[in-house]
Amino acid sequence: MIRLRHGGKGRTVAFFASAVALATVLAACGSSTSSSSSTTKASSGSSGKNLSIAYVPGATGVAFYTSLADGMHAEATKLGMSFSYQGSPQFSPSAQTPIVDGVCTRHPSAFVISPTDPVALAPAVDNCLNAGIPVLTTDTTLQNASRITSQITTNNLQGGQLAADFVGQKLNGSGEVAILSISATATTQVLREQGFENELKSKYPNIKVVATQVTGQSVSASTTAINSIMLAHPGIKAVFSVSGTGAEGTAAAFAANGDKGKVLNVGFDAGPNTVKLLKSGGIDATVAQNPAQEGKLAAEYAYDYLTGKKSQIQAKVQLNDLLITTADANNPSYTKYFYKA
């Protein structure tokens, strides 16, 4: 969505190094897990006085967003702000919009959202802004972000490039591949796919993307989709899912049809279910983000905005990704980037 974080005023933002150079590394969307749809937690600190921060994720029950919320809550607690978290298990504008409307009627001091669509969520976010509530985005963002206090995300283009390089090297630069996505419009999904395809065209021109399908957040929908794709294109040698649930669904399909170990399965995110499959070889590699750091920065910048320290805020922040393979899955240098349940 943007290049690596620019210099300028404000705090230093730690970010992922490459998979080769792991020194000084500080790290949506998402591996499946279980989660409640709404929580409200009061912070114990005093510096935030009566300030509050509310977060609406792309979907609940997703390890990426749970880790992001945990990072946000921890920083809010440190700063003395109260924190609330509410969302829908469905990654869709129709499910997210009424939740945003409800949260903003309660008028939190600051509002953070991971929009499920860059255009469809704009009216609901505008209502928050028009009510005088500062809005920050994490993970995904809006098409028109001119009024957003800060956009905090991962380097989605780079994540797609990492996946493409892994596939390109494993396939020796030649073969057919497929892509699974949970959304045709969510900014993260679009950019990961672009990064993957552009890297293949640039460095591995003999690798062709022969099928791309949007499956939504459901693991079972991804399983169904990849079964259909493999029937139509039996020569496919790799599948790149731009989410953890896509890779999980692909792993289920490959385990059932005998393609495990024969067709590469590459995903995005490092939630518990994805990691379990990564360790067993059901997923060959996955691109890890740093959701906790995204959440931490959102709380930090919200506090800065509310306490007159706007010069500390970076309007755009982008954290680097890390590719983790099955061979790396038990290495402590990599396991520290696995998400919490």
What is the distance between the alpha carbons of residues 214 and 229, in angstroms, rounded to a whole number? 12
Q: Kindly state the average pLDDT of the residues 122-134.
A: 98
* CATH number corresponding to 38-155+290-321: 3.40.50.2300
pLDDT for residue 39: 52
DSSP helix/strand/coil, 209: strand
pLDDT tens per residue, range 183-239 = 999 999 999 999 999 999 999 999 999 999 999 889 999 999 999 999 999 999 999
Q: Same topology for domains 38-155+290-321 and 156-288, yes or no?
A: yes
pLDDT for residue 120: 98
pLDDT for residue 55: 98
pLDDT tens per residue, range 178-189 = 999 999 999 999
CA dihedral sign of residues 155, 161, 165, 166: positive
What is the distance between the alpha carbons of residues 207 and 133, in angstroms, rounded to a whole number? 47
Please report, for the chain, the start and end positions of each structural domain, with discontinuous segments joined by +. Answer: 38-155+290-321, 156-288
Higher-scoring residue by pLDDT: 11, 118:
118
Spell out where the chain has E strands.
Answer: 38-41, 52-56, 82-86, 110-113, 135-138, 150-154, 174-181, 206-214, 236-241, 264-268, 285-288, 316-319, 322-325
- In the predicted model, is pLDDT for residue 15 greater than 70? no
Q: State the pLDDT confidence band at 47, using cuts at 50, 70 and 90.
A: low
Please say whether the beta carbons of 335 and 278 come within 8 A.
Answer: no
- In the predicted model, is pLDDT for residue 111 greater than 70? yes
- In the predicted model, is pLDDT for residue 46 greater than 70? no
Q: How confident is the prediction for the chain on average, in pLDDT?
A: 89
pLDDT for residue 340: 82
- In the predicted model, is pLDDT for residue 100 greater than 50? yes
CA distances, 218 to each of 18, 21, 25 (Å): 30, 34, 31
Q: State the pLDDT confidence band at 48, using cuts at 50, 70 and 90.
A: low
- In the predicted model, is pLDDT for residue 36 greater than 90? no
Of all residues in the chain, what percent carry a pLDDT higher than 70? 86
Nearest to 339 by CA among 265, 258, 246, 276: 276
> In this structure, what DSSP letter does residue 312 have?
G
pTM for this prediction = 0.85
pLDDT tens per residue, range 239-294 = 999 999 999 999 999 999 999 999 999 999 999 999 999 999 999 999 999 999 99
Strand partners, 238: 177, 264
- In the predicted model, is pLDDT for residue 311 greater than 90? yes
Fold of 156-288: Rossmann fold (3.40.50)
pLDDT for residue 34: 37
